[in-house]
């Protein structure tokens, strides 16, 4: 799962996952998830 990006809805969740070793994390606001996914896909 090293190529996966975890989409988080809060900074606390993101920080928790990063403390467990996740490298690729993104935080988004509800309603922005599709925009974030497109941004990740397009680099």
pTM: 0.63
- Confidence (pLDDT) at 7: 83
- Confidence (pLDDT) at 16: 95
Give the span between the Cα atoms of 14 and 5, in whole angstroms: 11
Instruction: For the chain, give every domain's residue range.
Output: 6-42
- Provide the 3-class DSSP secondary structure of residue 8: strand
- Confidence (pLDDT) at 42: 85
- Confidence (pLDDT) at 1: 62
pLDDT tens per residue, range 7-40 = 888 899 999 999 999 989 888 887 887 887 888 7
- Confidence (pLDDT) at 9: 86
């Amino acid at each position: 799962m090293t190529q996966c990006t975890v989409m988080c809805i809060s900074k606390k969740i993101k920080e928790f996952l990063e403390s467990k070793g996740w490298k690729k994390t993104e935080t988004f606001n509800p309603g922005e998830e599709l925009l974030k996914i497109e941004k990740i896909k397009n680099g």
